[in-house]
Amino acid sequence: MNEFNNSHPIALLDQSVQIYKFIMLLKQNNLLNNHRYQDSAITTPILKYIANHYAEPISNEKLAKVTSYSVTYQN
């Protein structure tokens, strides 16, 4: 927990990454447990892809390949 008290630029970046991962896990958990979402066939693979590739550039085209839906349909 001491690394969250560090103001070094690398530590700050790591803090952001950890917080983002936590938020994405919360969101993913909510979507997976809430069956009211009709678009889960799109959102679930996208959330998993983002969680696994958050450090890389992510484009709509990459997400379209993950879901097998067009960019237009996903948006």
CA angle 57, 14, 24 (to 5 degrees): 60
Residue 2 CA to residue 69 CA, distance in Å, equals: 43
- Residues in the chain with pLDDT values less than 50: 1
Look at residue 19 in the predicted model and tell me its pLDDT.
84
**DSSP letters for 11-33:** HHHHHHHHHHHHHHHHHHHHHHH
Look at residue 32 in the predicted model and tell me its pLDDT.
61
Number of domains in the chain: 1
Residue 55 CA to residue 60 CA, distance in Å, equals: 16
CA angle 17, 23, 27 (to 5 degrees): 140
Look at residue 40 in the predicted model and tell me its pLDDT.
73
Domain hosting 29: range is: 2-74
Look at residue 38 in the predicted model and tell me its pLDDT.
59
Could you tell me the two tokens for 7?
Answer: 């103001």
